[in-house]
Amino acid sequence: MKRCDIYLHNVQMGKPQKKKKNLADKVHRTKTTTEIKNNPFEVKINRKKFEVLGRKTKNDVGLPGVSRSKANQKRKETLLKEYKQKDKNNKFIDRRFGEYDTKMAPEDKILKRFAMERQRTHDKKDIYNLNEEEELTHYGQSLAEIEKLNDAVDSDSDSEEKGLLSAELTASHFGGGGGLLRRRKPGEEDYEGGRKAKSRQELIEELIIKSKQEKRERQNQKEEAQELTEKLDQDWKSIQALLSKKPPKSEAKEDEHKPKLEEYDMMVRELGFEMKAQPSEKMKTPEEVAREERERLQKSETDRLRRMQGDVEEGDDKKRVHWSADDLNDGFILDKEDKRTLSYQDGKWNIEEEMEREEGGEEDDGEEAESGEPGRRGGEGEGGRKEVVPPKPSLSEEERLAQQEAAKAELPYTFKAPESYHDLKSLIHGHSPEKQCLIVERIQKCNHPSLAVGNKLKLQKLFGFLLEYVGELATRSPPRLDAINKLTPQLYGLCQLFPDAACKAMQTVLNDSAHEMEEAIEVKGRAAFPGLDMLVYLKITALLFPTSDFRHPVATPALVYISQALTKCPVTTLEEVTSGLVLCCLVLEYVTLSQRFVPELVDFLLGILHLAVPVKRSLGYPVVPPFRLAGKSCDLLVMSNAEGAESWSRKALPLSAVQGLQLPSATERDHYRLSLLATCMDLVKRCALLYKSLASFSQIFHPIKILLTKHLPVESFPTDIQDLHRELYTPKIVEVLDYGKKRGSSKQEREREKLKHKYKKEFKGALREIRKDTKFLAREKLSEIMSRDAERKRKVKELFGSLATQEGEWKALKRRKK
């Protein structure tokens, strides 16, 4: 069973090397360890400079000889072997299992090898042989085979008897073994009983006759068997003739049957091509769904980071999705999120929801409010409704349902896609924000790109109209910001469907406003702050597009636009301060993820704070346009009296304040000022956090620092703002742990120090090892050369010797002849 897998590939075996042993080796070999340790000449004691109590050192005693011999030994095993094999292409590979595994016990190795051998012979056909006994072999040959072979020889050998050596024959021919004779004893006794004296000659003749008789009998038997088989054959032939009569008939009929057969074939083929039942997707557990979602988000995040670094240029082509030639570009993508999965919720099969989703594509669907559009993520139960119509917290569940019922009762279920902005307006005019949202959603449903050819264009237009509508909502007074809020998911959904169209629409909006601003700047040198609609647009831009990209066709111009607004629009009223602060918030949101530096933001915040400085003399910091050091409306945020500070409480500012403020009393105005200041300070704080890692952080915030510490009348502000102020400019206390020794201030640094040290040590060690290796190799080479030289010398000497004897002999012969 065991097979030796040793392949000998034309190996050139080197001569066994004569090894000149080192002295250390010799010592090591000859003496036992205890002996060495006791030998004072072997031991090297490392002297300590100072005795430190309680310290245990590992390396106070060394055995240089031992360690040297150990290292030498190791080199011989590894390096020397490699060296010997250096220029040799052929190798001796022992492929037996575990041959080079020193950890394995030899018994284990044998066992494993045996098992593997068994496995290899255990062919596939044997898989189902459960009870079959193992095949027994002898010298690799099956015992059963051998037995069979014997039988065959029996039956086939007619005349020759070479293979047959019966016991008697052998016994009689070669005198037989003692055992045989002993076995024959009873028989012999019979013979001896019959006729006593039989000569050897007679016995042999008898044997011959016997065997001849046996032979004849066998021949007869065989002939009989032959006859019988022949007879059987003939019988079979007669029957076969009967059996084979039918096929000719069927051949005759074949032509008639042909069309039928084709039909059949077709059927078979059709069936073959028909979709076979395939194993369905494995049901996903909630954890799996969550994991997938997380993976998707992670992937998006890494994408985002890559774009933030700005290395999109190269990577973009790779990233592009493959579009099939049959793709309708309708936004209908069968990706993971879209796949319907079976899910259970509260012990019930979630099939209803699935059904609704399927129906969602149909035009006369009544419940489409609940079905998700293709862009929608997450197959969770009521996710669809929650996303679309955020329920008012004040309304109870029943009320909400009732409301929706009412809405459904009123609203038609199908809408034509609006062809113009006026169409859209007339469609949604007079409805509540929730209903407007529903209408927009239904428009989207009814005109899904997969339903008709022109729908894609219609929906692309719808995005533009919606944007326009949002702008109009924002310019109304009072602005309908809640309605805009409701429409946001719709915009997002449409944007996901048609990124290019959305990008274009957004760009147009931005471009128009920027152009207007540019014209104003050219004429007057300044411009008015963007209105609330632009602020909303900018916010929506941040919601729809990634603002952290290194370069983005919408986000980058939007940032330039904001920057322009922050530097070119003079601040003369509280409304304008509000607008400016909204813009600051937006900029901060834009760059929060990417942590990019926006100089205009810091400048503007400084300017706003400057507006709150009451005494504008010897300031020590510069302000940047649009602000001025002094002049009219430079005291915009200076408190008119101190009483306002006490009654003030911090609350969110209304966005509508951008359009106009109704603050009749001085106290109210003071309150508003304080709110603005609080916002501004908070923004400064966020900025400081965001930019703290910048190289010129202190230079950037130097003016603000001077302003906050020296000029701002903090005492007159309420405690809230004072707290903020304190937070901003309380020095951070850093624990200093440097007591003479270099311990590193932080854990990280210590770790780094440690690693550095380790690296140095390792590097030195490696260098030493390499040096020793080369020394060892040089020694080996030298010894090789020496031995070669010695050999040569010896041979030369031999030759000279033989020549000398020859010469001698020849001379002697000569002398003798003479």
Partner 1 sequence: MATSRSSNVSTDKSDETAKKSSKKDINNKVELIIKNRKNANDVFDILEYLQADKEKDVVFAVNACNKLFSALLERGDLFVGRLPSEEEMLTGNHSAEEKYRMFMRHRYNSCKDSLLGLIRHEAFQVKESALVTMMKFVSVEGKFPLLAVDWEEHYNFPRELLKAVVERLLSDKEDMALLISRFQEFLEMEDVRYYVMGSICDNVVRVMERAKGAVLPVYQSNVFLLASSISMPSQEAELSNFLVKQAAKQEDWKAAKLKEHKRVFERMWLCVLKYKLPSSMYKKVLVILHDSILPHMSKPTLMIDFLTAAYEVGGAISLLALNGLFVLIHQHNLDYPDFYKKLYSLLEPSVFHVKYRARFFHLANLFLSSSHLPVYLVAAFAKRLSRLALTAPPAALLMVLPFICNLIRRHPACRVLIHRPSAAEEPCDDPYLMDVDDPAHCHALESSLWELQTLQTHYHPDVAKAAMAINKPLSEQEDDISELLELSAYELFERGLKQKENQAVPLEFEVATQLLQGSGGILGAHFSLE
Which of 293/773 has CB closer to partner 1?
A: 293
469 binds partner 1 (CB under 8 A): no
Distance from C-alpha of 397 to C-alpha of 389, rounded to nearest angstrom: 13
List the one residue from 438, 494, 534, 591 that touches partner 1 (CB under 8 A).
Answer: 591
Which of 465/561 has CB closer to partner 1?
A: 561
Q: Which stretch binds partner 1 (CB under 8 A): 190-198, 451-459, 496-504, 735-743?
A: 496-504
Contacting partner 1 within 637-666 (CB under 8 A): 652-656
Q: Which stretch binds partner 1 (CB under 8 A): 84-92, 240-248, 393-401, 500-508?
A: 500-508
Size of the site for partner 1 (CB under 8 A): 97
Distance from C-alpha of 715 to C-alpha of 470, rounded to nearest angstrom: 43
Which of 36/558 has CB closer to partner 1?
A: 558
744 binds partner 1 (CB under 8 A): no
Handedness of CA 367, 368, 374, 378 (dihedral sign): negative
**C-alpha count within 13 angstroms, C-beta hemisphere, residue 191:** 11
Shortest Cβ distance from residue 631 to partner 1 (Å)? Answer: 14
List the one residue from 286, 310, 315, 454 that touches partner 1 (CB under 8 A).
Answer: 310
List the one residue from 227, 263, 482, 798 that touches partner 1 (CB under 8 A).
Answer: 482
477 binds partner 1 (CB under 8 A): no
- Angle of the 499-524 helix axis to the 481-497 helix axis, nearest 10: 130
List the one residue from 286, 525, 713, 801 that touches partner 1 (CB under 8 A).
Answer: 525
Q: What is the 3-state secondary structure (H, E, C) of 404-420?
A: HHHHHHHCCCCCCCCCC
547 binds partner 1 (CB under 8 A): yes
Contacting partner 1 within 198-237 (CB under 8 A): none
DSSP 142: E
Which of 561/672 has CB closer to partner 1?
A: 561
In angstroms, how far is the first alpha carbon of the chain from the final one?
Answer: 77
Tokens of 566: 């922050």
Residue type, 138: H
Shortest Cβ distance from residue 771 to partner 1 (Å)? Answer: 33
Q: Which stretch binds partner 1 (CB under 8 A): 437-445, 545-553, 636-644, 743-751?
A: 545-553
- Classify each residue of 638-662 as buried b or exposed e, where b means 16 or more C-beta atoms within 10 Å of its C-beta: bbeeeebbeebeeeebebbbbbebe
Q: Binding string to partner 1 for residues 321 to 350, with x set by CB under 8 A, is what?
A: x-----------------------------
592 binds partner 1 (CB under 8 A): yes
Q: Which stretch binds partner 1 (CB under 8 A): 240-248, 362-370, 595-603, 754-762?
A: 595-603
Own/partner contacts of 663-667, CB < 8 Å, gap of 24 or more, are: 663/574, 666/640, 666/641, 667/643
List the one residue out of 567, 682, 702 whose CA is nearest residue 622: 702
543 binds partner 1 (CB under 8 A): yes
Shortest Cβ distance from residue 653 to partner 1 (Å)? Answer: 5
Other C-beta atoms closer than 10 Å to the C-beta of 626 total 21
List the one residue from 64, 366, 599, 801 that touches partner 1 (CB under 8 A).
Answer: 599
540 binds partner 1 (CB under 8 A): yes
Distance from C-alpha of 568 to C-alpha of 626, rounded to nearest angstrom: 6
C-beta of residue 637 within 8 angstroms of C-beta of residue 612:
yes
List the one residue from 354, 550, 669, 706 that touches partner 1 (CB under 8 A).
Answer: 550
Quote the strand ranges of 293-355, DSSP E. 344-345, 348-349
692 binds partner 1 (CB under 8 A): no
Which of 341/567 has CB closer to partner 1?
A: 567
Distance from C-alpha of 652 to C-alpha of 676, rounded to nearest angstrom: 10
567 binds partner 1 (CB under 8 A): yes
Q: Binding string to partner 1 for residues 268 to 307, with x set by CB under 8 A, is what?
A: -----------------------------x--x--xx--x
Which of 48/551 has CB closer to partner 1?
A: 551
Which of 750/772 has CB closer to partner 1?
A: 750
Distance from C-alpha of 804 to C-alpha of 811, rounded to nearest angstrom: 10
C-beta of residue 509 within 8 angstroms of C-beta of residue 537:
yes
Residue type, 451: L
List the one residue from 176, 361, 531, 557 that touches partner 1 (CB under 8 A).
Answer: 557
Is 61 strand, coil or helix? strand
List the one residue from 73, 432, 556, 716 that touches partner 1 (CB under 8 A).
Answer: 556
Residue type, 486: K
Contacting partner 1 within 622-641 (CB under 8 A): 622-625
DSSP H or E segment with residue 161: none
Contacting partner 1 within 52-81 (CB under 8 A): none
Please state whether beta strands 6-8 and 92-94 pair in parallel, antiparallel, or not at all (unpaired). antiparallel
Q: Which stretch binds partner 1 (CB under 8 A): 4-12, 55-63, 582-590, 714-722?
A: 582-590
453 binds partner 1 (CB under 8 A): no
Distance from C-alpha of 617 to C-alpha of 779, rounded to nearest angstrom: 87
Contacting partner 1 within 505-524 (CB under 8 A): 507, 510-511, 514-515, 517-518
List the one residue from 694, 766, 767, 799 that touches partner 1 (CB under 8 A).
Answer: 694
582 binds partner 1 (CB under 8 A): yes
Distance from C-alpha of 15 to C-alpha of 13, rounded to nearest angstrom: 6
609 binds partner 1 (CB under 8 A): no
Contacting partner 1 within 704-733 (CB under 8 A): none
Widest distance between CA atoms in the chain: 161
Handedness of CA 178, 184, 189, 193 (dihedral sign): negative
List the one residue from 415, 590, 648, 672 that touches partner 1 (CB under 8 A).
Answer: 590
Give the C-alpha distances (Å, rounded to integers) separating 534 from 538, 574, 576, 597, 783.
Answer: 6, 18, 14, 23, 89
Shortest Cβ distance from residue 592 to partner 1 (Å)? Answer: 5
∠ CA 720-725-730, rounded to 5°:
130
